Amino acid sequence: MQINFTKNIKLNAVQILSIGFALVILIGAVLLSLPISSQSGEFTNFLDSLFTSTTSVCVTGLVTVDTGTHWNYFGKTVIMILIQVGGLGFMAFATLIALLLGKKITLKERLLMQEALNTFNIQGLVKMVKYVLVFTFSVQFLGALLYSTQFIPQFGIGKGIYYSIFHSISAFCNAGIDLMGDFSSITAYSNNSVVILTTGALIVIGGLGFTVWSEIYNYKGLRKLTLHSKVVILVTGILIISGAVLMFLFEFNNPDTMKSMGLKDKLINSLFASITPRTAGFNSISTTDMTMAGRFLTIVLMFIGGSPGSTAGGLKTSTVGILILTIVSTIKGREDTEIFGKRLSKDTVYRAFSLFTIAIGLVLIVTMILSITEPGATFEYLLYETISAFGTVGLSLGLTTNLSAIGKVIIILTMYCGRVGPLTIALALANRKKKSGYKYPEDKILIG
């Protein structure tokens, strides 16, 4: 008698996406652990390979081995592919393959695409995926062209082109993984405005979200933009400008970061230091040598992250916008959360506060666990590392390479949760019940 164990196993969209990301990570880890991937031609410790694969697929940027010197071109190419797949989502690539093979996209696959791209409905999803792929490759191509004007003269044609493509993909996908060696990121280019501004532009473009760029491309006036796009653009603009101003003030006279720079370089690096924590992981000035205020501002920006439906991670700009708008509406005595003459549904507000609570809880738990597994590290270093992993940022104060085996596993899980989304994972694990046909009697609890 043969028993079919898979017959009764029914997975919803978020569970399939969560498992899909995990499988891609595992495949990447196996490839990176092989001798053909390392510069030395030897096997790489599987935990370090798993860490590298996770940080690539989750487009984080934290690394336990130096990307530029440890891996050969095969290993670097595997990492580049993992970044691209992780940044766009494996469903986008599965759809691309299906389209190339002439396969029809089923309703179930459209529902998966809707969840992966974080869109409101399934109408026009295949067209949306085509747009996402064309837009992505076009922007990355332009980014590589700009990089090549700097990298080809420095590294030669072959290496210069490869470095240009790799860093364009890494920046657009908000990965923050670089090939410069010695964990230096792009600090050697702090006075190179082309490299800094190109990287910053790619980060912002990748972090806004494909839905927003689709609306901008088809722009027919401010009133035609959806409320989502308006909120994302508004919050992103405020964060970039205010972050740049504050970073400029905090680091202006810091001899270890920007004091020796000219005014132009100070402005550009302040802008970049405001952009990259959300959630790219490149750094043009030393994160360890920043002032305490600069590091704290970086932590806040890392936690907020990019926008929904983008290559970025973190709590997301729209979520923060909803939280602030709800608080403002409550202070004003309004019953609903309101903005731009519209009100948000209670369900949207509840999801935003649930995501915020889960995110805070995850950060606190991980930081507490790391305080046990990494006894030599300070609280600031642990919190910085945790939020960098959760926000899929990749910035570090130098703790990553010194993590214990258990610490590496904890950070791997945190990066995974941060990329897939705490709320998505919660929904994937939970058996969601239908709405009950009754309500409990209302009562009151004192607040404050």
pLDDT tens-digit profile of 349-376? Answer: 888 898 899 899 999 999 999 999 999 8
Residue 163: per-residue pLDDT = 97
The answer to whether 55 and 66 have CB atoms below 8 angstroms apart is no
Q: Average pLDDT, whole number, for the chain? A: 84
Mapping DSSP to helix (H, G, I), strand (E, B) and coil, where does residue 337 land? strand
Between 114-123, 333-342, 389-398, the lowest mean confidence (pLDDT) is in: 114-123
Each domain of the chain, given as residue ranges in start order, spans 13-428
When comparing pLDDT for 75 and 281, which is higher?
75
pLDDT tens-digit profile of 196-235? Answer: 999 999 999 988 877 787 777 776 665 678 888 888 889 9
Residue 4: per-residue pLDDT = 47
Q: Looking at residues 106-116, what average pLDDT do you find?
A: 52
Q: Looking at residues 34-55, what average pLDDT do you find?
A: 95
Name the residue among 236, 245, 242 with its Cα closest to residue 206.
Answer: 236
Mapping DSSP to helix (H, G, I), strand (E, B) and coil, where does residue 338 land? strand
Cβ contacts of 96 within 8 Å, gap of 6 or more: 129, 133
Q: Looking at residues 141-154, what average pLDDT do you find?
A: 96
Q: What does the alpha-carbon distance between residue 423 and residue 351 come to, in Å, rounded to a whole number?
A: 8
b/e map 173-212, b = 16+ CB within 10 Å = bbbbbbbbeebebbbebbebeebbebbbbbbbbbbbbbbb
pLDDT tens-digit profile of 330-343? Answer: 888 888 888 887 88
Q: Looking at residues 383-409, what average pLDDT do you find?
A: 93
